[in-house]
Amino acid sequence: MKGVALVTGASGGLGQAVACRLAAEGWSLILSGREAVGLDRVLSKLVGGGHLVVVADCSTVAGARQILDVAKASQIRPTALAHCVGNIRLGAVHRMSETDFDECLSANLVSAFHTLAAFVGALREANSPGAAVLVSSAAARIGTPNHEAVAAAKAGVEGLVRGAAATYAANGIRVNAVAPGIMDTPAASRILGSSAGREAAARQYPLPGIGAPDELAELMVWLLSAQAARVTGQVWSLDGGFSAIRPLVK
């Protein structure tokens, strides 16, 4: 067994892919999300045993702590965190409602802050090293029309990653993030739901196409592994070149 990993947002498209890969590589898992049915569905797909399901809303301090408290009561101590909670709220800044903005910040940034705090708190209590990987977005790295809210939230996640990586490096706790372009998950279903939307989205990328959650999951699992023992404070783009290069215009 590799150890215990906490996967938040585990019933989502990315969370599920990460959970399946971690379990296949020998990790025991704590699957967390707000609703039991989806988590049980993911649990039934996992190889190996000893996995735990915790229903909680990790966008609150109490919810995030609850996950670690339930694990502790079951004598399970995660040393890895894959925080897969988030949403996509699109719209120009002058049109975005207060509710949409609040939900975007809460799911993407507030949840990351409180979950990382609870995870690191548990590691420090046990005097244990560990590793966390959070999820940013290509939209935080390059200006993208109508992505103001999610860009602001994910830029906050990237700042959180660098700050926490610096604070806890001396404790052997690594903190990194990944920054994907669009992926085929329920969060992107409004954009990818029609063939026209799908083709338009795919064309935006220098390496055209739509990302698969499993390819991002592979990178996240590597960042949590011993092979990445010297990697911390980084944000790894996986976006077909979207945030770094301009395609050749013919």
Ligand X SMILES: NC(=O)c1ccc[n+]([C@@H]2O[C@H](COP(=O)([O-])OP(=O)(O)OC[C@H]3O[C@@H](n4cnc5c(N)ncnc54)[C@H](OP(=O)(O)O)[C@@H]3O)[C@@H](O)[C@H]2O)c1
Return residues touching ligand X (CB under 6 A).
Answer: 9, 11-15, 33-35, 38, 57-59, 84-88, 107-108, 111, 135, 137, 180, 182-183, 185-188
What are residue 82's phi and psi, to 5 degrees? Answer: -115, 105
> Which residue's CB is nearer to ligand X, number 111 or number 176?
111
> Which residue's CB is nearer to ligand X, number 83 or number 174?
83
Dihedral angle sign, alpha carbons of residues 220, 224, 228, 231 = positive
CA-CA distance, 223 to 221, in Å (whole number)? 5
Q: Which helix (H) or strand (E) holds 7?
A: strand 3-8
Tell me which residue of 134, 135, 165, 139 sits closest to 152, measured CA to CA: 139
CA-CA distance, 49 to 62, in Å (whole number)? 28
Tell me which residue of 138, 235, 127, 222 sits closest to 172, measured CA to CA: 127
Q: Which helix (H) or strand (E) holds 203?
A: helix 195-203
> Which residue's CB is nearer to ligand X, number 105 or number 124?
105
CB 46 to ligand X: min, Å = 16
CB 57 to ligand X: min, Å = 4
CB 56 to ligand X: min, Å = 7
> Which residue's CB is nearer to ligand X, number 183 or number 228?
183
> Which residue's CB is nearer to ligand X, number 76 or number 191?
191
CB 13 to ligand X: min, Å = 4
CB 120 to ligand X: min, Å = 18
CB 134 to ligand X: min, Å = 8
- Contact yes or no for 186/13 (Cβ under 8 A): yes
> Which residue's CB is nearer to ligand X, number 122 or number 201?
201
- Edge-to-edge strand order for the sheet containing 27-33? 52-55, 27-33, 3-8, 80-83, 130-135, 173-180, 235-238
Output the six-digit token pair for 32. 């967390």
